[in-house]
Structure 1
């Protein structure tokens, strides 16, 4: 069975400060305003944009589907703060949350794709998507299908992330258009960089999907030594 979900509600609460292991700095949480993402089919994909065209979109999408529509993607940021309260100028994306319902999350469960079997996981394992360009995204499976094997689009996403005006924080989300859809993909920096990152489904007390949240493992769980 997978590792239990962290208490994301507490971990990512805006204004919360967390000690940074082995350093005289703290990590201060803040949340950016949401940016819209189109989900024309309601089949959510979380992935590294550089891998477009390498896998079947139906196998990339999470098994949990939502009503088609446009939903906000919210980035949870952390700023490094020195012992005297000064901003160290080092900001990271700790998590990316695709908000489906504006309701409190009561429970969390690991989001899985059709090829994932929770019984295959060891106690310390999680399913997640690989990243080797420091970039992740949320996108609809239908959009991935439309792109096909368009390697140029993957390059466009990465260029938009890394070739921006230096006055604009690199941690801001990037919205990409596909065809007539101006909100087809939202891309963002992934925490400290490369790795494998899991996405969780937050459910309301009534069992409805409230959000999909990708954790970039920037923050330690409370009291985690």
Structure 2
């Protein structure tokens, strides 16, 4: 009987990471480890929130559709910076290990998994209640609910004008490649993040989702008054890679 095929180091780390993600809570040091100097922090651009309604989505597949995830908590209307934690791994190469939306400078005193719109934390675990958003194009984004609608309209117009086209290869690939050329030290050659404005609309960021497709949850960092100071999406546990 043939022996069981050995997993490669990357396959083994991927499987371990998959089981690690999307838990309700983690030790605070796990979150702090992304942005305290242990990894490289990169400023990826600003996001406009005209309504304060936060949307998490794969921008190419789900932004502006019923499959995007709108969060229950609302942040003050405004513009906020996005930071990425870049992991350099001998196993996985250069990867975006986590993304952070910096909402205020107040110290984080507690964490809370981000619930979708209309759901509360106490409902977690009930049938049909989940926290994650899906990624099918290897990309994720922070966006405002209004921006998501702007993007939906932009994508519809683009596809109408380019019925045989592919919106990534024919539109976004060049922007990602330009980003990679500008910051080759923190991304792969095809590009791992862009700061982009919907034509005639608001700004959002797009960034690679760690090892790619999957499901990911975000976590609020709350200040002493219980208001959001940051929102973090972990994609990878650096200890596994």
| TM-score bracket for the superposition, by shorter chain length | 0.7 to 0.9
The match for 1:174 is: 194
**Larger strand share, 1 or 2:** 1
Correspondence for 1:48 among 28, 50, 58: 58
What CA distance in whole angstroms lies between the structure 2 residues aligned with 1:165 and 1:109? 32
Deviation >3 Å, runs of 4+ = 115-120, 151-154, 160-168
The CA RMSD measured in Å over matched residues stands at 3.0
Are residues 126 and 30 of structure 1, via their aligned partners in 2, closer, same or farther at CA, if it must alter by over 3 Å?
A: farther
What CA distance in whole angstroms lies between the structure 2 residues aligned with 1:160 and 1:106? 41
What CA distance in whole angstroms lies between the structure 2 residues aligned with 1:90 and 1:116? 37
Asked if structure 2 preserves the Cα contact closer than 8 Å seen for 1:47 and 1:129, the reply is yes
Alignment of 1:89-128 (within 5 A): 90-114=93-117, 116=119, 118=121, 119-121=123-125, 127-128=131-132
Deviation of 1:77 (Å)? 1.1
Deviation of 1:53 (Å)? 3.7
What CA distance in whole angstroms lies between the structure 2 residues aligned with 1:140 and 1:166? 25
What CA distance in whole angstroms lies between the structure 1 residues aligned with 2:86 and 2:58? 19
The two structures have a TM-score, normalised by structure 2, of 0.70
Deviation of 1:95 (Å)? 0.6
May I ask how many residue pairs the two structures share in their alignment? 197
Deviation of 1:41 (Å)? 0.7
The two structures have a TM-score, normalised by structure 1, of 0.74
Larger radius of gyration: 2
Gaps of 5+ in 2: 1-22, 160-165
What CA distance in whole angstroms lies between the structure 2 residues aligned with 1:104 and 1:132? 34
What CA distance in whole angstroms lies between the structure 2 residues aligned with 1:100 and 1:166? 26
